[in-house]
């Protein structure tokens, strides 16, 4: 199964590279497949932003991931 993770775009660098924040991790990803601006949310899969999300969708999905991880640690 493949999973795409929501992240906030913090910076856009030359060459269509974005710096995104997953909440506790920042990473460079390719932005070739989406048209986004700093502050917007994207779904990231294998180093590529594949879909733009609304802020609400991004935050809601990140919260669901946190809940799942917390349940797995119990």
CB 59 within 8 A of CB 40: no
Residue 61 neighbours by CB under 8 Å, 6+ apart: 6, 53
Model confidence over 4-17: pLDDT tens digits? Answer: 999 999 999 999 99
Model confidence over 6-56: pLDDT tens digits? Answer: 999 999 999 999 999 988 899 999 999 999 999 999 999 999 999 999 999
CATH number attached to the domain at 5-73? 2.30.30.140
């Amino acid at each position: 199964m493949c999973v795409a993770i929501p992240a906030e775009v913090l910076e856009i660098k030359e060459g269509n590279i974005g710096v995104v924040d997953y909440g506790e991790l920042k990473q460079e990803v390719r932005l070739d497949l989406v048209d986004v601006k700093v502050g917007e949310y994207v779904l990231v899969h294998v180093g590529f932003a594949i879909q733009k999300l609304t802020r609400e969708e991004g935050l809601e999905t990140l919260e669901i991931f946190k809940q799942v991880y917390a349940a797995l640690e119990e």
